[in-house]
Amino acid sequence: MATFIGCDTFLKIVAVKTIQCSGVGSTSVLLKGEVVSTGGSSEVNERGFFYSTSKSLKNPQTVECGHGGKGAFDAKVTGLQPNTKYYYQAYAKNEDDLDVGDVLEFTTFELDFTVETNEPEIMSLGTVKLKGSYQNNENLNIEKVGFEYAKNGNFNNATVVYAERVQTPFFVIVDLDDATYYCRSLVQAEDSTIILRGESVVFASVNHSAPVVTTGDATNVTSTSAHLNGSVSDGEIGVKGFYWSTSADFSNPTQMQVGSGLGTGVFEGTLGDLSPSTTYYYKAYVTYSNLGSMTEVLGEMKSFTTEATR
């Protein structure tokens, strides 16, 4: 390629073109280009490629291929993200002259690599064995394996721990506070250019058994009201109350919440606007924290009959 300036000045410039890449994989590709003109020199000082996930190639990665003369050149790029579209262009330059080729694109393949987060094992009070595994069908170079864990599901300020060996399956033993945690397996490969994570699992660092809920006898029964009694053993209690119905099969019961919080022991509540000479059935209930969600526990069903109208 040549450019004429004014009437008698002849300036030779560098020219390069981008060629369609080959060898596209899940994490690598072979980029290709060709130096068309060296700008009058025997070779260009530098040639290579710019590539990015942005079509505008803003702040691209650069692969340098060194100096060379006219003709084709290529470069293998590794550490790409799977199932991702990339844009690239060849470049060549001398001291004061830079030329770039057209922008072409390619998409990496889906990675044939799976990471599993297994159910953690509660070993003792506050001591938990985090467990994971992976299947490496890509023969990637595994650098580290481990876990991320946090007290929130979005893993803000997560703690990262690594296993002593990278073989699968793998585990890490950690000491945790008495709380609910979220955890996911972590695999770093190819000099940490590829980071893969398993699905998140939720667990309590201490095995919490369900609280025992007891339905007490009704007291102060009148023709239109009754006082219901219940109790609950220790546990991380959410709400407390009673279900009641006029049907012995307890279909479509009415709910009466009488308290909330961590308190255990006796709880009570009064039913009003009842019908005289009617049998009512009722159960005490509480909700408690179980592996990050609230679970309901019911006491046994009992009954009382309101007095007749005087």
Ordered DSSP codes for 33-49: EEEEEETTSSSBSEEEE
Rg (CA), the chain: 35
What pLDDT, on a 0 to 100 scale, did the predictor assign at position 263? 66
Written as six digits, the tokens of 7 are: 């009437």
Q: What is the mean pLDDT of each run of 10 residues along the chain (310 residues)?
A: 40 87 92 93 94 94 95 93 94 91 95 93 88 93 96 89 97 90 93 86 76 93 96 82 93 86 81 96 87 78 91
Whole-number Å distance between alpha carbons of 35 and 66 = 12
Whole-number Å distance between alpha carbons of 149 and 203 = 10
Whole-number Å distance between alpha carbons of 243 and 252 = 9
Conformational region of residue 6, where left means phi above 0, alpha means psi within -120 to 50, and beta covers everything else: left
What pLDDT, on a 0 to 100 scale, did the predictor assign at position 4? 38
Decide: helix, strand or coil at residue 65.
coil
What pLDDT, on a 0 to 100 scale, did the predictor assign at position 177? 86
pTM as predicted: 0.48
Structure-token match 């099969």, residue found: 249
Residue type, 65: C
- H-only helix segments in the chain: none
**Which helix (H) or strand (E) is 260 found in, with range?**
strand 254-260
In order of 114, 134, 191, 276, the CA distances from 163 in angstroms are 18, 13, 17, 69
Burial class of 228 by CB neighbour count within 10 A (0 to 12, 13 to 18, 19+): buried
What is the chain's percent helix, strand, coil content, to nearest 5?
0, 55, 45
Query: What are the structural domains of the chain?
Result: 2-107 (2.60.40.10), 113-204 (2.60.40.10), 213-305 (2.60.40.10)
CA atoms within 13 A on the CB side of 42: 0
Whole-number Å distance between alpha carbons of 124 and 297 = 25
Whole-number Å distance between alpha carbons of 196 and 4 = 54
Structure-token match 């005289």, residue found: 276
What pLDDT, on a 0 to 100 scale, did the predictor assign at position 106? 97
In order of 38, 57, 63, 266, 299, the CA distances from 70 in angstroms are 6, 25, 18, 90, 86
